[in-house]
Amino acid sequence: MAIYWGVDSATSSTDLIDGRTLFDIVIEAAGQPPAFWGRYIGELFALTPEEVDFLHANGCKILVIYNGATNTLASVQGGFHEGVNDANQAIGAARTLGVPSGVWIYADLEASWSPTSEWFQGWSDTMMASEYGGAGGVYTNCLPAHAANFNTPYCAAFNHDSNMQGMGPAAALVFSSEPEPGCTSAASAPEFAPAGSPCNPNTVIWQYAENCLGGLFDEDLANDIGFASMW
């Protein structure tokens, strides 16, 4: 299975820093262009049509991350309805941007958040019913020490939801934020070894380093399924 090196950032890949785009700075720092770039839809720091064109013109796929969920009862701490609502907001943002059908949308769930099993089912069932990829994805911390904030509620949902279980790559996907061995050149990236969900084998993207080059970008690896899920 091929492994692809890429990055993600809150700010645009086209932002100018000392006269150079962030994209060019990544190439200089890492030694090669990224195969993909993770960017947000839905809230602050959102991907724009102009940046989409820029990344695609540079042969770079886009990892679509929805950052509109919040650690509140109106969102991930809520139930099935709140999961449906967050998914519909993500779907609407993707449609407005022109994200094509079949692309997967990953919900940004920060490590300190407390999502419920019902929220995961609402998110995944709504994604499965949409034109976007399978049962949707989540970005999260899968370490065992973090089980109360992810693995326990997620697996409670996964083990009782046929949509999340899916068939092969149609199952819900996971973008893991751990472990973090640290920033590297692209050629020196670690072997693909993310902390994964104990119930779902489809941990397909790994953010192995955060805040590289003074916080300008994070570094990621994706397997074939993860890479195919991108735009």
CA 18/CA 228 separation, integer angstroms: 34
CATH of the domain at 178: 3.20.20.80
* Distance from the Cα of residue 199 to its chain's centroid: 19
What is the percent of the chain where pLDDT is above 70? 100
Domain count for the chain: 1
Q: Give the β-pairing of 4-8 and 36-41.
A: parallel
Q: Partners of 7 in the beta sheet? A: 37, 219
pLDDT for the residue numbered 169: 73
Residue pair 106/137 in contact by the 8 Å Cβ criterion: yes
* Model confidence pLDDT, tens digit, residues 201-225: 999 999 999 999 999 999 999 999 9
In this structure, the chain runs to a length of 231
Opening angle at CA 96, ends 92 and 98, nearest 5: 115
**Model-wide pTM > 0.95:** yes
Rounded to the nearest 10 degrees, how much is the dihedral formed by the CA atoms of 129, 134, 139, 144?
110
Q: How confident is the model at residue 129 (pLDDT cuts 50, 70, 90)?
A: very high
Q: How confident is the model at residue 227 (pLDDT cuts 50, 70, 90)?
A: very high
Residue pair 201/188 in contact by the 8 Å Cβ criterion: no
Q: Which residue has the tokens 């809150």?
A: 10
Q: Which of 12, 53, 13, 63 is nearest to 33 (CA)?
A: 13
* Distance from the Cα of residue 14 to its chain's centroid: 20
* Model confidence pLDDT, tens digit, residues 47-100: 999 999 999 999 999 999 999 999 999 999 999 999 999 999 999 999 999 999
Instruction: Show the domain range for 202.
Output: 4-228
The token pair at 223 is 């397997």
CA 80/CA 94 separation, integer angstroms: 21
Residue pair 134/104 in contact by the 8 Å Cβ criterion: yes
Q: Give the β-pairing of 16-17 and 20-21.
A: antiparallel
Residue 20 has pLDDT above 90, yes or no: yes
Residue pair 56/35 in contact by the 8 Å Cβ criterion: no
Query: Which one-letter DSSP state was computed for residue 46?
Result: B
Rounded to the nearest 10 degrees, how much is the dihedral formed by the CA atoms of 121, 123, 128, 134?
-100
Residue pair 84/122 in contact by the 8 Å Cβ criterion: yes
